[in-house]
Amino acid sequence: MLDGSLPLWLRLFSLFHVAMPVLLLWGVARMGYDHRGLRLQTLICWVVLGLTFALAGDDNVNFVVRPFGRPAPVPPGVWFASTFVLYPLVLFAPAHFLLARWKGQAGSR
């Protein structure tokens, strides 16, 4: 997005990060929050992390090799294994509990 060597139209694609949270919150407000979301999101995350680790090599897509492009505090395999616990625990669980509290348990009907 900040690389001036890329055309402006291509860099503007990154602006979807601005609209996406608004769109997702609107969807939850309109349709409610399903209590099965945390399990499904975790399962999808594990599949994506595994595929990323196997296919991306040293590109560090989804931070599976090292955190934020910095040297990993542990060997890459240990870091990769820890992402299977850290992503759901640090990212998904807080959002799950906030959304479930905000818009109820739509899937429990």
- For residue range 96-109, what is the model confidence (pLDDT) as tens digits? 999 988 887 655 44
Could you tell me the pTM of the whole model?
A: 0.73
Domain that holds residue 23: 1-31
pLDDT value of position 61 = 83
Token duo for residue 9: 């139209």
Shared-domain flag, residues 10 and 46? no
Which residues, including other chains, have CB under 8 Å from residue 48's CB and lie 6 or more apart? 62
Tokens of 89: 């625990």
Residue pair 1/11 in contact by the 8 Å Cβ criterion: yes
The one-letter code for the residue type at 16 is: F
51 shares its domain with 71:
yes
pLDDT tens sequence across 10-56: 888 888 889 999 999 999 999 988 889 899 999 999 999 999 988 88
Residue 3 has pLDDT above 70, yes or no: yes
Q: What is the pLDDT of residue 23?
A: 95
27 and 38, same structural domain?
no
Residue listed under structure tokens 């609209």: 19
Same domain, 16 and 39: no
d(CA 108, CA 48): 27
